[in-house]
């Protein structure tokens, strides 16, 4: 959410930013409503001031045994008018809040301007895509053949885009979760959390999934709970409505969670394999920082995620998302894309973003620089560290052998207990 005062005084900046994102939005009506709100607010607050003063007088008069009936009647009538205007103001505020919650974040200056992912800018590459002297297979074929992935039974038991992992497949998934968490807690300084997998509506609003993208989320019937689409939601909302000490931040948190996504509008895309599931596992990195350090922290966070792929020996590249491809709440995002032989291209496996104070304002997460400091909004960041299912896909495809077996990357061998899946 953007600062109302900022919107009020810089509407052209916001309109420009929205345009860069590919929307065309005018703030004219918003500003008109906002001006009306302030007009009415000033009016009703003056009336309340009078009521407070006179009510106090009435109290004194009654105590003194005087007749205050005339003033009581007067105030009764004033009260009616106050109530009417109050309702009016509340209505306008609801309208404004709804609008405000639907305005995306303003992209950072350094974000390349463009309307699609074609306009994303590659920042760097690491590693060499493997060369095969045989026709490499897609991971779903490798997995099925090895008997470690069962897509058909996933569909039978639950539905499309759900999968069973079996044997060393299940173990590989678990090994990756442990490896990711051990790496981030052991070498990168993150504190591990295990969050709830459901959150209430306000938390979803806090990180920006709601109100605009409700059709993307799974709602739990008979409750106000949603299945989390990422651990970003519970972890970022950890400190909602809190004021942190400056000495406490930056906070580095990481968490494993299952992630649930309706993938509305993705029909027909990536229908095979592990790339796009309704349920997948992910280890998420979340940071709470000061405003002045958040962009340095974004670089570090991205490096932390990259370290996972380096240690696994998977070729990847880093791209800066263009304004048009940027997520709703993000000011700047780097995507890590891992090489997938069957796609003959790089595919997203991690997304690392700086939200600046956009989520912090929605979730009301602040910090204080000192005993006399005014509360300020923190900056929040997060990134996948990394998506587990897609990593399984990448390992199966990049480490496949002519005989259909798959070599286990060195760092995973102690978790797997074997060095080859066959």
Partner RNA sequence: GGAGAGAUGGCCGAGUAGGUCGAAGGCGCUCGCCUGCUAAGCGAGUAUACGGGCAAAACCUGUAUCGCGGGUUCGAAUCCCGCUCUCUCCGCCA
Which residue ranges make up the site for RNA (CB under 7 A)?
4-5, 8, 38, 41-42, 45-46, 48-49, 51-56, 58-60, 62-63, 72, 75-76, 79, 90, 243, 371-372, 374-375
Catalytic residue among 21, 171, 261, 366: 261
Q: How far apart are CA 246 and CA 259, in angstroms?
A: 31
Q: How far apart are CA 162 and CA 196, in angstroms?
A: 21
Q: How far apart are CA 192 and CA 197, in angstroms?
A: 15
Q: Pinpoint the alpha helices (H) of 64-125.
A: 69-101
Q: How far apart are CA 232 and CA 287, in angstroms?
A: 10
90 or 153: CB nearest RNA:
90
Q: How far apart are CA 292 and CA 399, in angstroms?
A: 42
40 or 407: CB nearest RNA:
40
Angle at 95 between CA 94 and CA 100, to 5 degrees: 95
Tell me whether residue 348 is one of the annotated catalytic residues. yes
| Burial (0-12, 13-18, 19+ Cβ within 10 Å), 247 | exposed
Q: How far is the CB of 409 from RNA (least distance, A)?
A: 34
Beta-carbon-side half-sphere exposure of residue 71 (alpha carbons within 13 Å): 16
Q: How far is the CB of 357 from RNA (least distance, A)?
A: 12
Contact indicator for 172, 421 with CB cutoff of 8 Å: yes
According to DSSP, the residues that pair with 334 across neighbouring strands are 320, 352
Catalytic residue among 348, 368, 376, 405: 348
Catalytic residue among 21, 347, 361, 390: 390
Q: How far is the CB of 67 from RNA (least distance, A)?
A: 12
Q: What is the dihedral of CA 121, 213, 14, 236, to 10 degrees?
A: -80
65 or 371: CB nearest RNA:
371
Catalytic residue among 8, 276, 317, 368: 276
72 or 407: CB nearest RNA:
72
Q: How far is the CB of 216 from RNA (least distance, A)?
A: 25
Tell me whether residue 39 is one of the annotated catalytic residues. no
Reading the block at residue 43, the tokens are 């009016």
Reading the block at residue 109, the tokens are 């200056």
Q: How far apart are CA 29 and CA 33, in angstroms?
A: 6
Q: How far is the CB of 76 from RNA (least distance, A)?
A: 4
Q: How far is the CB of 177 from RNA (least distance, A)?
A: 20
Dihedral sign from CA coordinates of 406, 278, 282, 316: positive
Task: State the CB neighbour count (10 A cutoff) for residue 10.
Answer: 16
Q: How far is the CB of 187 from RNA (least distance, A)?
A: 32
239 or 334: CB nearest RNA:
239
86 or 119: CB nearest RNA:
86
Question: How would you classify the pairing of strands 316-320 and 121-126?
Answer: antiparallel
Tell me whether residue 293 is one of the annotated catalytic residues. no
Tell me whether residue 37 is one of the annotated catalytic residues. no
C-alpha separations of 214 from 173, 189, 208, 269, 359 in Å: 29, 34, 10, 20, 17
Question: How would you classify the pairing of strands 379-387 and 316-320?
Answer: unpaired
Q: How far is the CB of 182 from RNA (least distance, A)?
A: 25
Catalytic residue among 350, 351, 353, 384: 351
62 or 272: CB nearest RNA:
62
Residues counted in the chain:
422
Q: How far apart are CA 43 and CA 36, in angstroms?
A: 11
Tell me whether residue 261 is one of the annotated catalytic residues. yes
53 or 264: CB nearest RNA:
53
Give the active site residues.
261, 276, 348, 351, 390
């Amino acid at each position: 959410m953007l600062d109302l005062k900022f919107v009020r005084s810089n509407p052209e900046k916001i309109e420009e930013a929205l345009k860069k994102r590919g929307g065309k939005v005018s703030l004219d009506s918003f500003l008109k409503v906002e001006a009306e709100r302030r007009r009415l607010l000033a009016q009703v607050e003056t009336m309340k001031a009078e009521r407070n003063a006179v009510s106090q007088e009435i109290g004194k008069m009654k105590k003194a045994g005087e007749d205050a009936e005339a003033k009581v009647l007067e105030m009764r009538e004033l009260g009616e008018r106050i109530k009417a205007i109050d309702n009016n103001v509340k209505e306008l505020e609801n309208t404004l809040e709804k609008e405000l919650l639907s305005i995306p974040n303003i992209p950072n200056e350094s974000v390349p301007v463009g309307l699609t992912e074609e306009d994303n800018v590659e920042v760097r590459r690491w590693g060499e895509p493997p060369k095969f002297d045989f026709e490499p297979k897609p991971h779903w074929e490798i997995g099925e053949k090895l008997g470690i992935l069962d897509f058909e039974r996933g569909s039978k038991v639950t539905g499309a885009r759900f999968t069973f992992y079996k044997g060393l497949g299940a173990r590989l998934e678990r090994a990756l979760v442990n490896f990711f968490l051990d790496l981030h807690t052991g070498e990168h300084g993150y504190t591990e959390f295990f969050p709830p997998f459901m959150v209430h509506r306000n938390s979803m609003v806090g990180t920006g999934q709601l109100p605009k993208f409700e059709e993307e989320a799974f709602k739990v019937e008979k409750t106000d709970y949603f299945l989390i689409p990422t651990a970003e939601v519970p972890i970022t909302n950890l400190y909602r409505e809190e004021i942190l000490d400056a000495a406490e931040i930056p906070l580095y948190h990481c968490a494993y969670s299952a992630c649930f996504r309706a993938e509305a509008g993705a029909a027909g895309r990536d229908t095979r394999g592990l790339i796009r599931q309704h349920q997948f596992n992910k280890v998420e990195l979340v940071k709470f920082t000061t405003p002045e350090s958040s962009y340095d922290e974004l670089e570090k966070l991205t490096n932390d995620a990259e370290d996972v792929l380096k240690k696994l020996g998977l070729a990847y590249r880093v791209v800066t998302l263009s304004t048009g491809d940027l997520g709703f709440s993000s000011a700047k995002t780097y995507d890590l894309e891992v090489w997938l032989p069957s796609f003959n291209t790089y595919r997203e496996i991690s997304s690392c973003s700086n939200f600046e104070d956009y989520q912090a304002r929605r979730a009301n997460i602040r910090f204080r620089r000192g005993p006399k400091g005014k509360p300020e909004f923190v900056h929040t960041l997060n990134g996948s560290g990394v998506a587990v299912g897609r990593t399984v896909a990448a390992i199966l495809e990049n480490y496949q052998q002519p005989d259909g077996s798959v070599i286990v990357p060195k760092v995973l061998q102690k978790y797997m207990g074997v060095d080859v899946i066959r």
